[in-house]
Structure 1
């Protein structure tokens, strides 16, 4: 199921590769969404608010580790595109070893500073303990999350986006079963939802690794590959660290936004959480296109075909323009109907709807600039350039910070919700200009 993205009409190749990624990303979102729905309906709206209030922290912790591990796979796609079998296997082994160091570091640091971080974010006192319990268990299981994303990214780097999807669909079903078992039958509360996520993702990781060794010899390192390689380590860290920092910086901005939202109480937090989960489903197509462009750019960069990279980017932008318009209309229409899914019959959903509408309506207008960020950022990263995409995250952080400060000072919920659109527009302008600059450097590098 390997796909050579250096030949043929780019658009069909990009779309065929993106569709399984889109479905996989949606199922990935269902992990946390199922947690939210189950605790909201069977534990209570306070538990839902607790899980939701940790969403930005999860983005920080998991995003940093995923950014690092995904950065490790850029070298794999480049070596595969260049036809270097030994280099491909060496990059897989090296990335797997490096990821263990990332896991140990992230787990230790996140558990050490979790309580002060929740305090800093103005987490409401009535949901503080549940929030701390849920996010702590997620951090304990970060090894499962990192290795699932690493192994599935290795498969995608050689053009295989279908098999990770199949494993993820199975694991998502298992997550639902375990959620119901741990939360309803065992009565473990929010901790049960977190453990269901960890176990399910651990199984996904094992299945991906098994498949690599049985079916994808291109990615299966041999005994002599299992050692740190100096040049591979340097390359993987040079891409992985900026990608991880870019995730962390973006997550820091969303944490600042969450701090502003938290000021309006647990009802607003619960409504915002449900609305953001609905929106996250719509955003998965943009993220999937970005992941596709990272692999597409990596393989074509490895071959030295800059003209084909430009061609693919233009086609991706046109596709995402249409997708963004459709998603804007879809989330606005679906919000009133979907909000009730997150709460039991005893909760007054109508009281939460105005909070949720404010956030969704403000964001839906700006989906087009958001979609361009994923395309430009991932294309640059696929070509091995990590600094400017990371600085795009800094631009997002500054925009969110400025808007959040004003929102907190004026005690304005709409301005708190506007943190996301402000960040998207600012980063879209920056990453678009950065892409032009990077592509000129790529052209010179390939020419030399």
Structure 2
């Protein structure tokens, strides 16, 4: 079967050619901009909630957002696995294999997202009790969380499609539709929270409903755009059969995606434990932690964007057999990450008063508590970013178990262990110093694995035989022209 060639097709970028630094930067900037926009949207929503609904509502959203991160982790790993498969196939110039991998991930994760959303609606109260959510914030958190669960399938499919497009070398299209989603959310939030014109005031449920509406609208627009522009990963006709994963595709998705998803679950489970510990310190500390989380989210954005860009670029180069570029990709990625995250951390510390005031108004006691956290935690995200770049390199060749073990050791061994050991001596400061303890541990372990070099010998994709392709595509007829959210 002749493999269609991607490069030169609308929407794709060849990451195997040209200077590494400028190519990586131009690919990473739209991803970073998308992440910042998403975080900015969350922060503005938090400003609306905190300023107009109070500290209890802000504490409620902080608890609900941790739960949502956990739920997203259930399917996010499969998206990362499909992204790497897409990128390696694109590096070889085989768009049919890229579509096969992407379609399998979309089809499987669509069903999984529906199940997770239904289960989340049912068990939301139990999840919030597990967090030890303060009683005064519980009812607000429950309303917020249940409305957000309604939007989960649309949000997850949007994320999956955007990740697949980036694997194919297109980081511009995801940015366009992130802008659309954020713009809709920003407009709907004050309207639904406060009630404008004939629309009744919905309070905290209005904030969640605005996010849900923005997710559904942007997903529909992204699907329509994908087919209207005939982007490389769209599925037509007999290709729609790729939405039913083969046994081999499921083996790869589970074998690689499950450990990647578990990485996210480990991170969110650690976050659940941390916010549970924070909640024990009282409502003021919980509200301060919620505001601090908003700023720390921005510090994570360069790490995640550069790590994703490095992973996609490295995967394409591995698929193309360009191992001569791999070490330079890692070095350039770490350099960019240090520069961007370091600069952002310094700026946030320098302007902490007005930044924290955005979320907390003139509540001096809570602002002081948040500043106390900031000076102890913020700089640790520089080390976290370097770890994400190294993880991205390992992930590009399908090495996913070692990063999972590193996260387990650093987040539960180092971070929680530090807290338990030093809380009797440092009090609440043991919570804040546990962040750098975990970040430095994970960076050290990731560097050891990367420089040992064994990850380079791994194999992610087995070649797809010509006859297998023919049989899968032509086995049954499929009506053409139907729009399917397959990217």
Please report the TM-score for the alignment, with normalisation by the length of structure 2: 0.86
Distance 1:264 1:94 in 2: 45
Structure 1 residue aligned with 2:308? 291
Match of 1:196 among 187, 197, 210: 210
Contact 1:72–1:237, Cα closer than 8 Å, also in 2: no
- The structure-2 alpha-carbon separation of the partners of 1:81 and 1:405, relative to structure 1 and needing over 3 Å to count, comes to same
- How far 1:44 moved relative to its partner? 1.4
Specify the alignment match of 1:278 in structure 2.
295
Find the counterpart in structure 2 of residue 394 from structure 1: 408
Which runs of 5 or more structure 2 residues have no equivalent in the other structure?
1-10, 463-487
Q: Which residue of 1 aligns with 2:386?
A: 372
Matched, 1:339 2:356: yes
Residue 19 of structure 1: aligned partner = 29
Task: Say yes or no: does 1:381 pair with 2:381.
Answer: no
Matched residue, 1:212: 226
Is the aligned partner of 1:417 residue 2:462?
no
Aligned to 1:74: 84
Structure 2: distance between partners of 1:188 and 1:57: 22
C-alpha offsets along residues 33-67 of structure 1, whole Å, 9 cap, x if unaligned? 22211111111121111111223222211233223
Distance 1:270 1:241, change over 3 A: same
Deviation string for 1:120-145 (max 9, x for gaps)?
32211111111122122222221011
Distance change >3 Å, CA 91–CA 324, structure 1 → 2: same
Name the counterpart of 1:174: 184
Please give the TM-score of this superposition, normalised by the length of structure 1.
0.93
Tell me if the contact between 1:362 and 1:418 (Cα under 8 Å) persists in the aligned partners: yes
The aligned residue for residue 267 of structure 1 is 284
CA distance in 1, matches of 2:140, 2:423: 25
Match of 1:183? 193
**1:146-185 equivalences in 2 (<5 Å):** 146-185=156-195
Match of 1:239 among 256, 272, 282: 256
**Aligned positions of 1:95-106 closer than 5 A:** 95-106=105-116
Deviation at 1:411, TM superposition (A): 8.2
Contact 1:275-1:359 at 8 Å conserved across structures: yes
Q: 1:410 to 1:377 in 2, by over 3 A?
A: same
Aligned to 1:159, the other structure's residue is in SS state coil
Alignment of 1:312-323 (within 5 A): 312-323=329-340
Counterpart in the other structure of 1:249: 266
Q: Distance in 1 between matches of 2:458 and 2:80?
A: 26
Residues 380-410 of structure 1, C-alpha deviations (whole Å, 9 max, x = no match):
1121122112222212331232234346666
Deviations 1:243-293 (A, max 9, x none): 111000111111111111111211111111112201211321111101101
Q: Are the equivalent residues in 1 in contact too, given 2:83–2:312 (CA < 8 A)? A: no
Given the alignment of the two structures, is residue 353 of structure 1 paired with residue 370 of structure 2, yes or no?
Answer: no
Instruction: Tell me the equivalent position of 1:90.
Output: 100
Q: Which moved more, 1:393-402 or 1:156-165?
A: 393-402
Deviation digits for residues 338-391 of structure 1, max 9, x if unmatched? 1121245xxx42211221112111122323311111101122112112211222
> How far apart, in 2, do the equivalents of 1:217 and 1:22 lie?
22
Distance 1:373 1:134 in 2: 33
Q: Partner residue of 1:64?
A: 74
SS in 2 for 1:54: helix
Determine whether 1:306 maps to 2:327: no
CA distance in structure 2 between the partners assigned to 1:62 and 1:247 by the alignment: 8
Quote the Cα distance in structure 2 between the aligned partners of 1:192 and 1:35.
10
Return 98-107 or 110-119, whichever deviates more. 110-119
CA deviation profile, 1:307-346 (whole Å, cap 9, x unmatched): 21111001111222222321221110121111121245xx
Instruction: Give the whole-Å Cα distance in 1 for the aligned partners of 2:378 and 2:59.
Output: 23
CA–CA distance in structure 1, aligned partners of residues 351 and 163 of structure 2: 32
CA distance in 2: counterparts of 1:407 and 1:179, whole angstroms: 42
Q: Deviations over 1:56-112 (max 9, x none)?
A: 222211233223323222211111111112111212211110111321332244334
CA contact (8 A) 1:339 1:349 kept: no
> Which structure has the larger Rg over C-alpha atoms?
2
Structure 2 vs 1, CA of residues 55 and 400 (structure 1 numbering), >3 Å: closer, same or farther? farther
Task: Measure the CA separation in 2 of the matches of 1:175 and 1:260.
Answer: 31
Q: Which residue is equivalent to 2:139?
A: 129
Unpaired runs of 5+ residues, structure 1, are none
2:40 maps to what in 1? 30
RMSD of aligned alpha carbons: 2.1
Number of equivalences: 443
CA drift of 1:160 comes to: 0.9
Write the deviation string for residues 398-425 of structure 1: whole angstroms up to 9, x where unpaired. Answer: 1232234346666822112223222211
- Find the aligned partners of 2:258 and 2:92 in 1 and give their Cα distance: 24
Question: Is the CA contact (8 Å cut-off) linking 1:152 and 1:208 kept in structure 2?
Answer: no
- 8 Å Cα contact 2:398/2:458 also seen in 1: no
Match of 2:151 in 1: 141
